[in-house]
Each structure stands twice: as C-alpha cells, then as structure tokens.
Amino acid sequence: MFRRVSVKTTRVKNALSRSGLPDLDYALNPYIGCMHNCTYCYARQYTKLREVSLNWGRVIFVKENISSILRNEVKNYKPGVVGLSTITDPYQPVEAIYRLTRSLIEILVKNGFKISIQTKNPLILRDLDLIIKHVDRIDVGFTITSFQKRIVDFIEPFAPSPKARLDALKKLNDKGVETWIFYGPVIPGLNDDFETMKSIVEAGFLTNSKILVDRLHVKSFMYSQDNPMKDFVKKVSREWWNDFLNNFLKICSEYDVYCIPGFAEPMFKNRVIDEFYSK
C-alpha cells in the first residue's frame, strides 16, 4: 500500500511534559503525528497542531531541536520515569533518518532518568546496544491488538506486522529487558474474541511479558463518516467491557501471565487482579 507522507521540521521550546498516567512522571514526544496512521489512535485529538490532527498519518513534524532542549531541561527536573512516547510512536519510520529517539534516550539515562518505551516498530532493535547497556533503567512495550491480518490491515494499515513486533519483543526480553504488551484498544466485535485474547496471552507467555489491556475509549473523531471506528463505537458499554475483562483475566491466570486493566500499571495493587492470581 502506497501513500504520500509530508515530513516537516519544527523547533520547540519544551521537551518534557508532566504525565497524567500513574506509572509515568513525564512524557516525551520527539515527533508530532505518526506515520503508522492507526484508525483508532487517540493522539490526533490531543495534538494541538491542526495541520497534523486534521491530516493524521499524512503529515509529520520532526522536533529538530528537541535534543538540545532536553539537555537543558534535565538539569532542572527531578529524575523520574519518562514515557517515550504518549502521543506519537518514537520508532516510526522517520526515526530511521533523524535518530531523535536514540539521542533522547542517551541524554535521559546519563542524567539519572528511567524510560518506558512504547512502540509498534521493530526499528527499536537498532538501539538494542543502548537499551542493553541501561537495562536497569529501560522497559519496552509493544502494542499488539490482533494477530489476524484482516483486522490489522483494517485498523493499523501502515504499522509493522504483529509477528515482527512479537519477534522484536522476544529479542529484547532474551537480552534481559523488561517487556510488556499493550492489548489496546479492545474493540467490541472486532478484536475481543476468544482466539484473539488467547493469542495475545500466549504472546505474553512466550516473551515473558506482562500485558496491559484497555478498551476503546470513544472520541469525537470516531463518529466521522470516513473513520472505520464509527461502526463500533455504539457497541462499547460497561457490561461488554466487564464481561470481556472477566474472560480475559481467566485466560491470563491459566497461562500465569500477569495482566493489568488500563493504560498503565497502577501504583497500588488491584484487588480484582490479585484475586485471580491468588486462586
């Protein structure tokens, strides 16, 4: 599948921002927009640059001075956990050219920060040497929503294949890196079936990875006539999610894979989860 993507550069005044996720202190996004162009991606709604948000997946801005900004910021920020990234993929294809993510990792670890990387792209293996060198400070998660080509082509048309993501995750874990899978969003009637649940739990078992699982959060852009999510948003309900989660956690417990509902690992243990693992 071919498409034209416009890549532009911009200069920024800030690099780190405070994160609202319970397991992250800061967010760091080297790019604005994402070439993977996933149909469900919430990031377009939180991207302030309208040229990007209105042309999601087709316009990318490279924060060309972000490394120099970060070098100054780390001197004044208390070391904590940095999420790379929260509204873009730090290893989308443009990273192969600009190498911003690698430079940001080098700056952060040198200054005592920990890093949690989330991606869909095996390009991260290019930086395996750097990650292994700081294995006590870096964890890596891959988003995997399904292993069925029909579904992946529908919702993640320009992202690397789930098989390639799984292989990369396995290589990272084999080198001692803490790894995790983000199974999200779970979309009713699309990737919430038993076979998908089982295959993702098996992937967690194979790669010694915990699994974070989260439902589709309905956003206004999903109601657009040209967005494939418009046919699924009406199926999202509390009852559906509770039933799904109960079944999913049972499979997790059968494989002895630790699974966590939500975008991020909670600061305190979840009583519901612990009950499954104490049986």
What radius of gyration, in Å, describes the C-alpha atoms of the chain?
18
C-alpha distances (whole Å) from 250 to each of 10, 39, 46, 134, 216 are 47, 29, 34, 35, 20
The confidence score (pLDDT) of residue 269 equals 46
Count CB neighbours of 59 within 10 A: 18
Q: Which of 36-50, 90-104, 128-142, 179-193 has the lowest mean pLDDT?
A: 36-50
**DSSP E strand stretches across 170-238:** 178-186, 210-215
CA–CA separation, 19 and 24 (whole Å): 6
Q: What is the pTM of this model?
A: 0.93
The confidence score (pLDDT) of residue 225 equals 84
The confidence score (pLDDT) of residue 65 equals 98
In this model, does residue 266 exceed pLDDT 90?
Answer: no
In this model, does residue 274 exceed pLDDT 70?
Answer: no
CA–CA separation, 187 and 256 (whole Å): 24
Q: What are phi and psi of 21, to 5 degrees?
A: -85, 140
271 — pLDDT class (breaks 50, 70, 90):
very low
Name the residue type at position 65. N
Are the beta carbons of 60 and 8 closer than 8 angstroms?
A: yes
**Average of per-residue pLDDT values in the chain:** 93
The confidence score (pLDDT) of residue 228 equals 87
Q: Which of 26-35, 51-60, 199-208, 218-227 has the lowest mean pLDDT?
A: 218-227
| Angle, CA of 45, 50 and 56, to the nearest 5° | 60
Q: What is the pLDDT of residues 85-101, one digit of tens each?
A: 899 999 999 999 999 99
272 — pLDDT class (breaks 50, 70, 90):
very low
Sheet of strand 210-215: strand arrangement: 16-18, 26-28, 81-84, 114-119, 138-143, 178-186, 210-215, 259-261
1 — pLDDT class (breaks 50, 70, 90):
low
C-alpha distances (whole Å) from 18 to each of 15, 78, 159 are 10, 12, 28
Residue 52's nearest CA partner among 27, 15, 92, 88 is: 88
CA–CA separation, 182 and 51 (whole Å): 28
Q: Which residues pair with 182 in a beta bridge?
A: 143, 212
- Pairwise pLDDT comparison (222 vs 276), residue with the higher score: 222
DSSP 216: P
Residue 125's nearest CA partner among 174, 191, 56 is: 174
Under CATH, domain 7-277 is a member of which superfamily? Aldolase class I (3.20.20.70)
The confidence score (pLDDT) of residue 20 equals 84
268 — pLDDT class (breaks 50, 70, 90):
very low
Count CB neighbours of 41 within 10 A: 24
